[in-house]
Amino acid sequence: MDRYERILTLHRLLKSAHYPVPLPRLMDELECSRATLYRDIAFLRDALGAPIESAGGEHAAFRYEATEGQRFELPGLWLTSDELAALLALNELIGRSGPGVLAGALAPFKARIEHLLSDRASGKALPVERIRVIPWGERKLDQQVFRITAGAVLDRKQLRFLYRARTTNNESKRTVSPQRLTHYRDNWYLDAWDHDREALRSFAVDRIADPHTLEAAANDVAENELNDLLASSYGIFAGKPKAWATIRFSAHAARWVADEHWHSQQKGTWLTDGRYELQLPYSNSRELLMDVLKYGPDAEIVAPLPLREEMKIMLQLALTGYQ
């Protein structure tokens, strides 16, 4: 981490510590040498006025003085690179929300974020236009539908709406207990308990029509149960994992895939010839197959056999359109 993040991390460690923090632990947390750590401590104490005191004893340790340490804060707004990136992304996300109720509701937050991102010393705004967040596969969203849906989630009320599934294009009336909103690949999904089907389901918010909030309170589903059914398999499709997929990537594609996050439980292995083998759990194969297809000849599904055969059929059907 850079010096900025080390100072921030050092401050947080000393601020939250009830006892002196040993030097080795500080070096591990800041990922730096002893000399660098002493320079950072000196900067925090002398330049920023932190009430740092060293504890006596055989080993060096540091803490904030009890009374002054509670009151001391770093001057201005200090953000790590990850926090700044998240703030910039949120600013862009709000900017891309489009006209309508949602954009109007978020306008004060956008103004506040832009104020936070300004340079306090000079009064100049940071050139946030030099940060781009490019949407991919974003679908048109009705702002009123989103507002009502989000309101039902936060107010913990049941929701009734018409839903047209893309797989069948059939419209059905649903009464659900909304559990949470999920933003996945630039689109919003509603995770909910479907009272008619007595099961957890994920609904694409852009396919919801005519939503109405009901007076009845929503039935809460435990978070671990939600994750078991809606987050344990690959992609957005619900269901507990039915198998593990093994995908082998060429040495060329491996340079990208090895650094990518596909699933929280993924397992990656480098092969002796430079190829990369990725394993992950899945329930519905549709989204996984589409993601593997984009790598073309650089990706091969090795196992399980039914998934491999399914990919072969998709490739054969795709070829018929070019004959």
Nearby residues of 289 by Cβ (< 8 Å), 6 or more positions away:
307, 310, 311, 314
Task: Summarize the confidence of residues 209-225 as an average pLDDT.
Answer: 92
Nearby residues of 185 by Cβ (< 8 Å), 6 or more positions away:
136, 137, 236
Percent of the chain with pLDDT over 90: 39
> Do 137 and 186 contact (CB within 8 A), yes or no?
yes
> Do 125 and 117 contact (CB within 8 A), yes or no?
yes
The pLDDT score that the predictor gives to residue 95 is: 62
Check residue 298 and report its DSSP letter. G
The pLDDT score that the predictor gives to residue 242 is: 87
Q: What is the pLDDT of residues 20-56, one digit of tens each?
A: 899 999 999 888 998 999 999 998 888 888 899 887 6
The pLDDT score that the predictor gives to residue 121 is: 46
> Do 175 and 196 contact (CB within 8 A), yes or no?
yes
Distance (Å, whole) CA 233 – CA 33: 41
Distance (Å, whole) CA 245 – CA 258: 16
